[in-house]
């Protein structure tokens, strides 16, 4: 009997031990699963906090001036509130001088100093992209996401105003702009940003300042009333505008060599084939004729040095001439009474110049200032890659000026008729009694003396973005890249 009782007791003890072990194992499993579930919840929460940091930072970037991010690294950090409106309160720190060029490494190295905040997001620009690294902190769990994007755009009108200047518009004397004026600037700093109007100057339509500005703080007037100088409304732009430098050919065409051409010994010279010329010289009031061929044909000429001193360049046929110029040896690119693609005709006793400006396009890649002076006449599209441009004297330019340089000056008694000036990086000076009948895009605009800019309502159709060389910026497709 005692032996049986001992066996039963032993079996009971073994069963108890087995049950205890199983219970402990089960408890460990349950506790582990609970911890895993808690960790997963914290990881998920940290991930969404990091994503929220990116969205909050993008909202901030969309509100600030585009220049505020140039060559800078900013950090936004803070906590999301538990309010019903899901609001947030964030601080902003400029770490440009503290962090190294390896922004990801600097971000991770400084994470401990931001550990008490739910969201930490670094922002910087790189080429066309805006970059974000965002870390979300939930308890002892952190997650980091990386994001870069190009924001979508429906396209910015190019020539829908008489004058658009990124930074600054100034009118002195009795200068007038007959049409709308726009700037991106939101405050006034003399000669730097804003709109400055002297007593007798006028903007005949609306004056639109940067997004988010208080309009009256962006404009300085000599008169007592806004209406004395601005006949339309003083308001803000619907959105900030960014105009990029127009595309210039990477390389000039490689064409059969033709030597040099000069009007020294002939009253007329004819070019009827594509070709590369070392020099082309027009002087002695003689004529160079260029046969462009039938409609749809493009005649291409590459020349190392031009000298258009006196005479006429006449386009024959119905095609287009593309002239690629590396430099010019004369004092000015066009001077004297030179006429380029302008046929002089008399109409009721008045001299008119006939020619289709879209049939001539000159690409100039030199660094020497591109000057048109004297009584020269030209109808066409003049595209300077990097040089400054000067149009002076009593000459007339009909067409489009595209400049990648820092300065454009039109002065004297010259006339720019049905013209668009696209110079987004340039400071433009219109002086004397010069007139522009068209539209202007520049960085800064100065109208001095008795100048006029008279908006031509059809200018956008005459010179669409494709003609300017900025077709890629008309509509920008959103690009978003996520990572960890």
Give the model's pLDDT for residue 155.
Answer: 63
In DSSP terms, 230 is beta-bridged to: 203
Please, what is the Cα angle at 376 between 375 and 381, to 5 degrees?
Answer: 145
- How far, in Å, CA of 414 to CA of 391, rounded? 8
Whether 376 contacts 336, CB under 8 Å:
yes
Q: How many residues does the chain have?
A: 484
What is the distance between the alpha carbons of residues 17 and 345, in angstroms, rounded to a whole number? 116
User: pLDDT tens for residues 420-447?
Assistant: 899 999 999 999 888 899 999 999 999 9
Rounded Cα distance between 18 and 187, Å, is: 80
Dihedral of the alpha carbons of 261, 264, 268, 273, in degrees to the nearest 10 = -10
Helix (H, G, I), strand (E, B) or coil at 284: coil
- The 10s digit of each residue's pLDDT in 26-43 is 777 666 665 666 667 788
Which segments of the chain have a pLDDT < 50? Answer: 153, 472-478
Report phi then psi at 314, rounded to 5: -115, 130
Cα-based distances in Å from 184 to 127, 168, 444, 471: 21, 9, 11, 22
Number of neighbouring beta carbons within 10 Å of residue 321 = 25
If you ran DSSP here, which 8-state letter would residue 246 be given? Answer: P
């Amino acid at each position: 009997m005692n032996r049986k009782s001992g066996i039963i007791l032993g079996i009971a003890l073994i069963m108890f031990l087995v049950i205890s072990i199983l219970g402990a194992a089960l408890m460990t499993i349950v506790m582990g699963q609970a911890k895993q579930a808690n960790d997963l919840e914290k990881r998920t929460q940290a991930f969404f906090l990091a994503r929220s940091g990116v969205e909050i930072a993008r909202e901030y970037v969309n509100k600030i001036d585009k220049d505020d991010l140039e060559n800078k690294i900013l950090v936004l950090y803070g906590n999301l509130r538990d309010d019903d409106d899901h609001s947030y309160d964030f601080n902003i720190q400029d770490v440009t001088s503290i962090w190294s060029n390896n922004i990801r490494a600097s971000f991770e190295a400084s994470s401990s100093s931001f550990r008490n905040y739910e969201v930490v997001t670094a922002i910087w620009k790189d080429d066309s992209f805006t970059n974000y690294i965002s870390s979300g902190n939930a308890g002892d769990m952190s997650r980091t996401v990386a994001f870069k994007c190009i924001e979508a755009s429906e396209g910015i009108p190019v020539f829908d105003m008489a004058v658009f200047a990124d930074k600054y518009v100034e009118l002195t004397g009795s200068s007038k702009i007959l049409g709308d004026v726009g700037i991106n600037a939101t405050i006034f700093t003399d000669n730097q940003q804003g709109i400055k109007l002297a007593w007798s100057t006028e903007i005949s339509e609306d004056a639109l300042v940067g997004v988010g500005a208080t309009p009256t703080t962006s404009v300085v007037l000599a008169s007592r009333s806004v209406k004395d100088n601005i006949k339309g409304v003083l308001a803000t732009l619907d959105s900030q505008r960014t105009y990029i430098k127009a595309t210039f050919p990477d390389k000039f065409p490689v064409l059969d060599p033709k030597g040099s051409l000069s009007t020294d010994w002939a009253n007329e010279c004819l070019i009827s084939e594509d070709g590369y010329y070392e020099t082309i010289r027009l002087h002695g009031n003689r004529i160079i004729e260029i046969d462009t061929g039938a409609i749809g044909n493009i005649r291409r000429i590459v020349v190392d040095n031009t000298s258009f001193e006196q005479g006429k360049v006449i386009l024959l046929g119905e095609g287009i001439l593309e002239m690629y110029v590396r430099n010019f040896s004369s004092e000015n690119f066009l001077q004297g009474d030179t006429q380029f693609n302008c046929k002089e005709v008399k109409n009721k006793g008045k001299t008119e110049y006939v020619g289709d400006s879209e049939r001539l396009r000159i690409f100039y890649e030199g660094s020497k200032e591109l000057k048109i002076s004297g009584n020269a006449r030209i109808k066409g599209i003049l595209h300077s890659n990097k040089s400054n441009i000067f149009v002076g004297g009593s000459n007339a330019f009909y067409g489009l000026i595209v400049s990648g340089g820092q300065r454009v000056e039109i002065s004297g008694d010259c006339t720019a008729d049905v013209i668009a000036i696209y110079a987004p990086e340039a400071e433009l000076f219109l002086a004397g009694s010069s007139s522009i009948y068209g539209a202007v895009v520049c960085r800064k605009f100065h109208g001095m003396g008795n100048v006029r800019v008279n908006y031509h309502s059809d200018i956008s159709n005459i010179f669409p973005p494709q003609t300017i060389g900025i077709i890629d910026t008309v509509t920008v497709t959103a690009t978003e890249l996520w990572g960890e």
